[in-house]
Amino acid sequence: MSSTDLLLHLNHKAHYLLQEDADKIEKLIEVQMENLTTRQCPLYEEVLDTQMYGLSREIDFAIRAGLITVVAGKEIMSKLERNLAQLYEALNAKK
């Protein structure tokens, strides 16, 4: 395997793993959206915020290590941030 092939493999692997972590957060958001009829849980919001922060650190590391591009990292985070904003809007509208 050439160094170019290895780097390409590492880039794909890093993007896959980051997307896998983003999908887990997406699932947490979806579950909360489905359960808007239950009362708001500050602990759940704290977990989401912590997960988002952790993912942002992972993405930052991958960018600095040259494993993904800045654009790819921003795409992953911005999709989650939009969905999280929709969740918070829905929770605020419920109040």
pLDDT digits (tens, 9 = 90+) for 67-84: 999 999 999 999 999 998
Domains along the sequence of the chain with CATH: 3-94 (1.10.287.750)
Torsions phi, psi of 18, nearest 5?
Answer: -65, -40
d(CA 22, CA 56): 10
- Per-residue pLDDT tens digits for 12-51: 999 999 999 999 999 988 888 887 655 566 777 788 899 9
